[in-house]
Amino acid sequence: MAIMNNIYLPQLVTIEEIRDEAPDVRSFKLVFKDPRLREGFDFKTGQFALYSAFGLGESTFCIASSPTKKGYIQCTFRRSGRVTGGLSQLSVGDTMGFRGPYGNSFPIEEWKGKNIVFVAGGIGLPPVRSVIWNVLDNKADYGNITIVYGAKTVADLVYKDELKAWDEMDGVTLVQTVDPGGETPDWKGKVGFVPTVLEEAAPAAANTVAVTCGPPIMIKFVLNALLKLGFDENSVYTTLENKMKCGVGKCGRCNVGDVYVCKEGPVYTAAEIKRMYNDF
């Protein structure tokens, strides 16, 4: 009997490293068990995957590492449901499932020679971080980099080591903020919501693209703030992380109006978002 091609069958990956980023937020460094994939797995920044905890099911997150880092992939997730709860129970050396990469990507080739502003909130940083490292690993191709990142509290900021590294890099401006009440006595960053802090930082819009991800409500306000700062709606990108089960355009839940995020996204320009239903 011919073996069927099963689009729902995941690959197996081993957890090589676990890093606690923030309360309930954890990163996994994953390596494919299949040696051919370990060498040959390729993806583009912005693509997503479905990660499985066997016995509990699959969850969708972006690939948080950059394609420039070879031999492994990373994902970052918040423990909030059944599958992420199960993933949180796993240890280094354990096996999980990986299905992907799916979806479109950020067109970073088109951005060469331009400045880039990254705006992220909370656990919206992981997809943006993939783009940040992809750009920083080819830094000569791009202009100035500005990163505006905020979380509810200081503890909730993810990738704390990397924030420090970005802050110290030449040509990179990092603006960090926490929501009012989320600061600590020794907090040196801003206090305020991301869209407000972005407007205060007022990065120049000329020859600049912007990338944003965060909670849906933050995305909506950040898009407005960027347009107010003079950004062209075709130069502003975001990624929509809707609930997905199949990742391949079949299961029917990730659509925003007539747009299937898994097949026609997750990366969209502000102009495309404007044409979509206000339903994400």
Partner 1 sequence: MADKILKKEDLAKLIASVTGKGGRFVAPTTAARQIVFKKVSKAEEIAPDYILARNSFKEFLFPQTEVIAEFTVCKDTVDMRGVEVEAPETVVFGARPCEAASLAGMRALFTWDFVDEFFTKRDDNTVVITVGCTKGDEACFCTSVNLSPESTEGADVYMRETEDGGYAVQALTDKGKKFVAAHAAVFSEGSAKARALFMPEKVPGVDLKKISERLKDKSHYDNPVWKKLAMKCIGCGACTFVCPTCRCFDITDEGTAFEGERRKNWDSCQYDSFTLHASGHNPREHQPQRWRNRFMCKFNFYPEKFNSKGCVGCGRCIRVCPVRLDITDVMQEFSK
Where on the chain is the footprint of partner 1 (CB under 8 A)?
Answer: 1, 3-10, 12, 33, 52, 54-59, 78, 80-81, 84, 93, 95-97, 215-216, 242-243, 245-246, 248-253, 255-258, 263, 277-280
Q: Which is nearer to partner 1, 56 or 191 (CB)?
A: 56
Cβ at position 170, least distance to partner 1 in Å? 36
Q: Which is nearer to partner 1, 94 or 183 (CB)?
A: 94
Q: Which is nearer to partner 1, 99 or 190 (CB)?
A: 99
Cβ at position 273, least distance to partner 1 in Å? 13
CA–CA gap between residue 247 and residue 253 (Å, rounded): 10
Cβ at position 274, least distance to partner 1 in Å? 10
Cβ at position 181, least distance to partner 1 in Å? 20
Q: Which is nearer to partner 1, 1 or 140 (CB)?
A: 1
Q: Angle CA(44)–CA(262)–CA(127) in degrees, nearest 5?
A: 45
Residue keyed to tokens 């606690």:
20
Cβ at position 55, least distance to partner 1 in Å? 4
Cβ at position 64, least distance to partner 1 in Å? 17
Q: Which is nearer to partner 1, 205 or 262 (CB)?
A: 262
Q: Which is nearer to partner 1, 70 or 253 (CB)?
A: 253
Q: Which is nearer to partner 1, 223 or 256 (CB)?
A: 256
- Helical pair 216-228 and 194-201, crossing angle rounded to 10 deg: 20
CA–CA gap between residue 119 and residue 133 (Å, rounded): 14
Cβ at position 250, least distance to partner 1 in Å? 6
